[in-house]
Amino acid sequence: MHHILLQAAGNPLLGMLFPLLIVVVFYFFLIRPQIKKQKEQQKFIESLREGMEVVTNSGIIGRITKMDGPIVRLMVDEKTFIRVVKSSIQGEFKG
């Protein structure tokens, strides 16, 4: 066991391999999926249309009645409307 440690300490390439391996693992298991999720969310935000029933990050469910730039008006009940920022919409409501 001590011989392996001495060999690794003597070879700078092996000493650099472990931290590099950690970076690669972090990239493939944490960073890359997060980037993919952000791209999918951005694609969804761009696909929003009037009439869609959506849910916000805070759990509010409503139907899109008007879109004005980054602001979306949701009808949450008859004659009850709220304005939210597009980026706060989490997904389409399928209930």
What pLDDT, on the 0 to 100 scale, is given for residue 84?
97
- If DSSP codes are grouped into helix, strand and coil, which group holds residue 46? helix
CB contact set of 63 (below 8 Å; sequence gap of 6+): 51, 52, 53, 54, 74, 75
What pLDDT, on the 0 to 100 scale, is given for residue 4?
53
What pLDDT, on the 0 to 100 scale, is given for residue 95?
77
What pLDDT, on the 0 to 100 scale, is given for residue 10?
57
pTM of the model as a whole: 0.69
Regions of the chain where pLDDT drops below 50: 2, 6, 8
